[in-house]
Amino acid sequence: MSGGAHTGSILTIDLDAVAANYQTLRDISGSAEVAAVVKANAYGLGVDRVAPVLNDAGCRTFFVANIAEAYELRSLIPPAEIHVLDGLMGQPPERFVARNLRPVLNTPDEIETWRSVSAESDRPLPADIQIDTGMARLGLTADEAETLLARPDWNREMAIDCLISHLACADEPGNPMNARQRDAFAKLMPRFEARRASLSASSGMFLGEDFHFDLTRAGVALYGVNPTPDTANPMAQVIQIQGEILQVRFVDTPQTVGYGATHRVTRPSKIATIPIGYADGYPRSLGNTGIAVIGGRKVPVVGRVSMDLTTVDVTDVPDELARPGALVDLLGPGNDLDDTAARAGTIGYEILTRLGSRFERRYIENGNAGPA
Ligand SMILES: Cc1ncc(COP(=O)(O)O)c(C=O)c1O
């Protein structure tokens, strides 16, 4: 944010926690390499800040969604190994070759395109292949895989790096689909003669060693979301959202608060107004449902969340804490990312990737907090 500008809303991103989370994931991964998924601007947290920290933490392999993200990452970390999940996307393959990017080939046509460009190159060009074992989203179907493998020369002159698939229900350890997908993947794996195999993202890594294969693709767990929703979160919290109280208003019955008059006070009350709303990514569904924390005390969000403002009931908070200029946590210790997402009827992924551009972003790095 430029000098002098002030929005009264602060998003603190703890890069030390991201590095610690990378280490935690490595610790549970045994001999498998842990790649970092930094698509969507590192899940909204700023790829320009997050990717170098992961690189310093020892991460050498990165996944992004598309070639635009790959170009940005290449300029941030020149030696990174970069895989592009959405594949060639109709782009000339030379664009991938020129920047040493590894597309995840998702269709027989993409494989053929890559094979022909690889054949013209002075060395076999590495790319990944995705097979669909249950997502019905991207990758070769079982029939397409069989047809391809029936051709003896299908992979001539190209270097298959990773064989990839993606689990549909990894956050439900008891779901039989996990083992079905793993077994289908393991069965096809040797037939592709890929250098490496990669099945699991954040939650899959916690399903056990037989889900790790050679390379895991960690996204949301790096950013603090609980990859094991039924048990305590093994990851460190990464983000905190704070807003400065603009006004404290005294209201009594029969007054109401906010659009639609959805909150009716039942006693003499103090309502604090905070300059964060759904335009900042604070979900509108948290109206009358969200929790804020002020001076270590939990207080309810009352009334609807509006575009720029949210109102909280601070009746039980001493005046010296609930005063204009004081900071209120809309997300932080006591109302963490998973908790806030659950109250909003969504998932931590969506909260992270919808964080708005108005926050003053502060990054904590090596124990020091500083502006973006
Ligand atoms: C193919 C693929 N691999 C890995 C990931 C990372 O998943 P997570 O954020 O759950 O770790 C994603 C996320 O959408 C994905 O689509």
Instruction: Quick: pLDDT tens for 96-109.
Output: 999 999 999 999 99
Over residues 336-364, the mean pLDDT reads: 97
Distance CA 202, CA 220 (A): 6
**Could you tell me the distance, in angstroms and rounded to a whole number, from the CA of residue 219 to the centre of ligand 1?**
6
Q: In Å, what is the CA distance from 88 to each residue of 46, 192, 293? A: 24, 20, 46
Is 43 tagged catalytic?
A: no
SS3 365: strand
Ligand 1 within 6 A of 202 CB? yes
Distance CA 331, CA 283 (A): 12
1: pLDDT strictly greater than 60: no
Give the mutation target among 61, 213, 217, 353 for probing the ligand 1 site: most ligand atoms within 8 A of CB: 217
Give yes or no for a contact between 21 and 224, defined as CB atoms under 8 angstroms apart: yes
Of 22, 39, 278, 282, catalytic: 39
Which tokens hold the place of 280? 């900042």
Q: How confident is the model at residue 358 (pLDDT cuts 50, 70, 90)?
A: very high
Over residues 361-372, the mean pLDDT reads: 87
Place of tokens 């598309």: 66
Nearest atom, ligand 1, residue 349 CA: 9
Q: In Å, what is the CA distance from 369 to each residue of 3, 121, 138, 181, 318? A: 17, 47, 40, 43, 28
Nearest atom, ligand 1, residue 220 CA: 9
Beta-bridge partner residues of 301 = 312
* 178 CB-side CA count, 13 A: 18
Distance CA 81, CA 322 (A): 49
Q: In the chain, what percentage of residues exceed pLDDT 70? A: 99
Over residues 212-235, the mean pLDDT reads: 97
Give yes or no for a contact between 351 and 11, defined as CB atoms under 8 angstroms apart: no
Give yes or no for a contact between 324 and 7, defined as CB atoms under 8 angstroms apart: no
pLDDT of residue 2: 52
Over residues 363-371, the mean pLDDT reads: 88
Ligand 1 within 6 A of 274 CB? no
Q: How confident is the model at residue 155 (pLDDT cuts 50, 70, 90)?
A: confident
pLDDT of residue 342: 97
Identify which of 319, 322, 311 has the alpha carbon closest to the alpha carbon of residue 263.
311
Apex 150 CA angle, 194 and 125, nearest 5: 35
pLDDT tens, 113-132?
999 999 999 999 999 999 99
Is 349 tagged catalytic?
A: no
Distance CA 241, CA 328 (A): 8
Q: In Å, what is the CA distance from 105 to each residue of 85, 158, 179, 213, 299? A: 8, 12, 24, 19, 49
Distance CA 64, CA 57 (A): 18
pTM: 0.96
DSSP H/E element including 127: strand 125-130
Q: How confident is the model at residue 3 (pLDDT cuts 50, 70, 90)?
A: low
Ligand 1 within 6 A of 162 CB? no
Q: How confident is the model at residue 5 (pLDDT cuts 50, 70, 90)?
A: confident
157: pLDDT strictly greater than 90: no
Domains annotated on the chain, with CATH: 31-223 (3.20.20.10), 239-371 (2.40.37.10)
Which tokens hold the place of 181? 């997908």
pLDDT tens, 275-299?
999 999 999 999 999 999 999 999 9
Q: What is the mean pLDDT of the chain?
A: 96
Torsion of CA 320, 314, 369, 309, to 10 degrees: -130
* 224 CB-side CA count, 13 A: 30
pLDDT of residue 152: 86
User: Which residues have CB under 8 Å from 73's CB, separation 6+?
Assistant: 38, 47, 51, 62, 64, 80, 82
Ligand 1 within 6 A of 219 CB? yes
Nearest atom, ligand 1, residue 170 CA: 10
pLDDT tens, 232-291?
999 999 999 999 999 999 999 999 999 999 999 999 999 999 999 999 999 999 999 999
pLDDT tens, 177-190?
999 999 999 999 99
Apex 102 CA angle, 100 and 107, nearest 5: 140
Give the mutation target among 29, 37, 350 for probing the ligand 1 site: most ligand atoms within 8 A of CB: 37
pLDDT of residue 172: 97
Residue 217 has phi, psi (to 5 degrees) of -120, 95
Ligand 1 within 6 A of 44 CB? no
